[in-house]
Amino acid sequence: MLYEEMPFKIPQESDMYENESAFVVLAVENIIKTTIEQGNNKIILNTNLKFGLPMENINKIAGPIIEAWAYEVFHSIKDDIHNTYRLVNVESRPRLDMSDILLQFKKNNTVITADVDAKATAEDIANSGKSPNITSYSRIRTAYIKDPDFMFIILSLKHKVYSERNAKTLLIDGIMEIVKYNAYDLKFISDADINYNPALGKGQIQIKDIHYVEYQSRTTWEFCQLLDKKYLNSSKRTIDDWYREAVKNKWIKN
């Protein structure tokens, strides 16, 4: 059977999805922007190492530390019940979950839920941010079938790392400073900016360069078709491979 002849389950998102996505992306970016402007964008790593942290390798541990920083930033906003961003709930997602943080906003008596995947990239490393793995192809494809309004936000946090002597301890502190940010709804990232890497498991969806992303308006079903096209265009995948995934994950009708 050809791909076009498959008995697809076609997801139908709500009419308000695009407006709600824009609302969430703007709120996330404004929260990070304000945090940086207020000077709360530094993570200080204290150790008893006289010569400080190994700066040539520090970016290998930056990801989970900056994810924890982002969670605390959102959580502190949520604790203010009168916050202007209308953020009402923040949850840390379990290890190996598709996202890092779950955010819920209240707008016009509607609760908007967004899964946020925080990606840390280094300001001072030339190729940092090139082709990061975002999520499994099968996992994200299934998420949009289960919930056509599934909102997956990529939060890119650019940081620089430097050392500074602590005046009290006289030891060297490592400082991670978040300096730039961008937020994107995965569903609206342009065709040209999305890659499929078949090397890991069922394959990973990647962003070519997380710092330079263009937007493209599309429906949930159009995005599912785009994901399928990326999968099928890989030299390591066939229509039979796709069909097995479709049956297993219930992308097609019985």
Ordered by start, the domain boundaries in the chain are: 13-249
Which carries the bigger pLDDT value, residue 209 or residue 225?
Answer: 225
> Which tens digit of pLDDT belongs to each residue from 86-121?
999 999 998 878 899 999 999 988 999 999 999 998
CATH placement of domain 13-249? 3.40.600
Q: Which residues contact 160 (CB under 8 A, 6 or more apart)?
A: 122, 123, 124, 176, 177, 179
As given in the structure block, the two tokens for residue 158 are: 């650019």
Mean pLDDT of 120-143: 83
Annotate 118-143 with DSSP letters as a single string.
EEEEETTSTTTTBS-EEEEHHHHHHH
Which carries the bigger pLDDT value, residue 132 or residue 154?
Answer: 154
Query: 129 pLDDT band (50/70/90 cuts)?
Result: low
Nearest Cα neighbor of 229 from 201, 194, 199 is: 194
pTM over 0.75: yes
